[in-house]
Structure 1
């Protein structure tokens, strides 16, 4: 009796205390296990090695597939010629197209024709880039300008570039200014809309953090908006180049003048007037080749670098 009074606690109370203390002791142990699992997961992420692709893998994965595709197209083309599915003047033998290319090379005209169009296209694209970048920033950040100009930019992007050739000829005449105007009207909306789309996807937290650090106005645009919107911006640049090239080809095909020089579009139209189907196909192939080459040599490396810097590529090339 005396021992029971001295403790002042019943056996039930003691058991309850022991049960209450039991989870309390396990809680730190469980937390340490969770932290250890989290650290192990982070270590596993850090342990992912980014290895460089070997030349053999690049050859197999990047070079071989398009070569095989081109060879297959040529084979199908040759089979159709052998089978005489249509008249020879409508579908010439691939050898005739090669002969037309060889003749241009022997005359020294091939590189001049290509350079005339490429120089116009790249220069017009650079002008469009200089105009579209600040325009996209303004449209993306100023609400009333976006409400007024945003739908117009979208409408201009969907308008076929060839529609601008007749008014540009009337306004400016048959000269290089007309060519660059058509390129600008085709490329500026695409680049600006791509930048606007990229800025719309920038997390607001980035902007708030920038304002906290004192980045406002042009400083914020340069160091926060443009770097964060870079993936969408690069996509807009790629589309802008595609529109530039298409606009230029439309202008060269429609507008003919000795003052303009002989570009790819005008060469294609000349061969059509001469009813030379081999020359027509050669013109189409050269236009396609230049468009793909610019994409692979300029825009694809830029896009890979942007994606790699954000950890969006599994391997470095």
Structure 2
């Protein structure tokens, strides 16, 4: 009688089995990026913030009706709407917003041009990192408004002072974001790049920067936030007719005139611009980077 086979089965299989196994692994690695239905986008992306805004307005209106404080301290939402409509009818609303937005974007572009090579240098050169790393961290924690008096003394109440404050606030954030992203790049990527001849500037362009993109983009988002905050601080303190009327100066003028609806309108416009730039520029860029790395669920 033939004995039964009790030993382990062979792990080798037919070519058909191996092909099926490879196909299964490929299917696990593949990420399906499907277009999100409009109804789902409306439900999960649009409805929550709209609901939050409506709730804020309702609470605001209830506080006004309940007269929790004097009317000149907390005006009715309709008074703020009237101030907005008045600016629009006078044709000055877009000019005020664009004066600040153009300064902020130009200053951020300059900070990007300076912060990126500085971050690469600090991340890859040990001596530079030891010398400048703590300084960049300290500058990042320093309130941007602290630079306004010095910038005004150095450059006067000019656009140059505005841009200097933006650079001093944004460059450390961009550089530190890139350093953090590069620190998280697996060493295997760098060795593979060197093996293929990607060294020096070529390695930075084709290996380091692409691999460090998530941290770099986080630094860019924070850099824009610092740029916008720095600019508003500079416009509030160093206001002058020669600079044109921006959002910060509009807010300061409303405070001087004890125009509380104008003050609240200025705050709302500043907040709106910051959110709009993030939603229009940085959020889509962040989602695209996550999707290219197979993190489609996190990018939704």
Task: Place the TM-score, normalised by the shorter chain, in its bin.
Answer: over 0.9
Do the aligned partners of 1:125 and 1:244 also contact (CA within 8 Å) in 2?
Answer: yes
- Is there any run of 5+ residues in structure 1 with no aligned partner, and where? 1-17
Q: CA deviation at 1:210?
A: 0.8
**2:153 counterpart residue number:** 170
Matched, 1:98 2:81: yes
| CA deviation profile, 1:25-54 (whole Å, cap 9, x unmatched) | x341x5659979965752551576331101
The 5 A counterparts of 1:40-119 are: 42=25, 44-45=27-28, 49-119=32-102
Residues 81-123 of structure 1 show CA distances to partners (whole Å, capped at 9, x for unaligned) of 0000000000000000000000001111100000000000000
SS at match of 2:33: coil
2 CA distance for matches of 1:215 and 1:91? 61
Q: 1:194 to 1:47 in 2, by over 3 A?
A: closer
For 2:241, the equivalent position in structure 1 comes to 258
Which of the numbers 248, 257, 277 marks the counterpart of 2:231? 248
Conserved? CA contact 1:52–1:315, under 8 Å: no
The separation in 2 between residues aligned to 1:106 and 1:255, in whole angstroms, is: 28
1:154-303 alignment, distance < 5 Å: 154-303=137-286
Give the whole-Å Cα distance in 2 for the aligned partners of 1:230 and 1:159. 25
Do the aligned residues in 2 keep the contact of 1:53 with 1:316 (CA within 8 Å)?
no
Runs of 4+ in 1 over 2 A off after TM superposition: 30-41, 46-50, 314-317
Give the CA deviation at 1:60: 1.1
1-structure distance, mates of 2:163, 2:299: 37
Mapped contact 2:251–2:262 kept (Cα < 8 A): yes
Give the Cα separation in 2 of the matches to 1:50 and 1:276.
Answer: 50
Question: Offset of 1:314 from its aligned partner?
Answer: 2.3
Q: Within 1, Cα distance between the matches of 2:252 and 2:170? A: 23
Name the Cα RMSD after superposition: 2.2
Matched position secondary structure for 2:258: coil
Alpha carbons of 1:316 and 1:234: their partners in 2 closer, same or farther (altered >3 Å)? closer
Q: Pick one of 84, 88, 106 that aligns with 1:123.
A: 106
2:291 matched residue in structure 1? 308
Secondary structure in 2 aligned to 1:53? coil
Structure 2: gaps (5+ residues): none
* CA deviation after TM superposition for structure 1 residue 316, in Å: 7.5
| Residues 1:238 and 1:58: Cα distance change in structure 2 (over 3 Å) | same
Instruction: Specify the SS of the correspondent of 2:122.
Output: helix
* Aligned pairs, number: 297
Question: 8 Å contact 1:120–1:180 — kept in the other structure?
Answer: yes
Rg (Cα) greater in structure: 1
CA distance in 2, matches of 1:48, 1:235: 24
Distance 2:65 2:126 in 1: 62
Mapped partners of 2:98, 2:141: distance in 1:
28
